[in-house]
Amino acid sequence: MTINFNKYENGLVPAIIQDYSTKTVLMLGYMNQEAYYKTQETNHVTFFSRSKNRLWTKGESSGNFLELINMKVDCDQDALLISVNPKGPTCHTGSDSCWNETNSSNYGFISKLERVIADRRENQNEESSYVASLFKGGINKIAQKVGEEAVEVVIEAKDENDTLFLNESADLLFHYLILLQAKGFTIKDVEAILKARQK
């Protein structure tokens, strides 16, 4: 990996810090060549502080280190994307990120769907809502529906119609997300179990 530290007069390149697991952008700092080498050597992200005019390892006073996972250089060789495992809040204000965002897993459309399910659960008086009607029916009804959808997925998996298989898979996932919330969980809890099993 070649980085052009000489492109700018001050010898610094921007370093974008991103959580390796959640992909949340945590902060922006600057590195010179010395900071880059120290980061590699210690596995703790180190910057060149323009205000202190010295090397500065994030967490050196707070203990909230940024544990290095990997570093990538951009196409112009003058910016870094650094993936980290943050050991505590990143921002000096105590926030997870310098943009005051919560650093949590986001599953795109699945997360949006979970929020819709949660809203339907809280507003079960909506008679037109299928999801609300499932919650009204209780855990047995929801679990039964998941079982039915699982059987349909298995049946379609044995056939050659990919469209039907994918549609039944979508139905199964949708009802499973409902079951998770009926039990007081979300997909994030399942992710935590899978991560714990990873060796």
Chain segment 36-91, per-residue pLDDT in tens: 999 999 999 999 999 999 999 999 999 999 999 999 999 999 999 999 999 999 99
* pLDDT, tens digit, 9 for 90 and up, residues 140-198: 999 999 999 999 999 999 999 999 999 999 999 999 999 999 999 999 999 889 988 98
Distance CA 34, CA 12 (A): 10
pLDDT at residue 198, rounded to an integer: 84
pTM: 0.70
pLDDT, residue 109, reads 93
Residue 21 has pLDDT above 90, yes or no: no
The domains located in the chain, with CATH, are 13-86 (3.10.20.810), 109-197 (1.10.287.1080)
Region of poorest pLDDT, from 1-15, 16-30, 162-176: 1-15
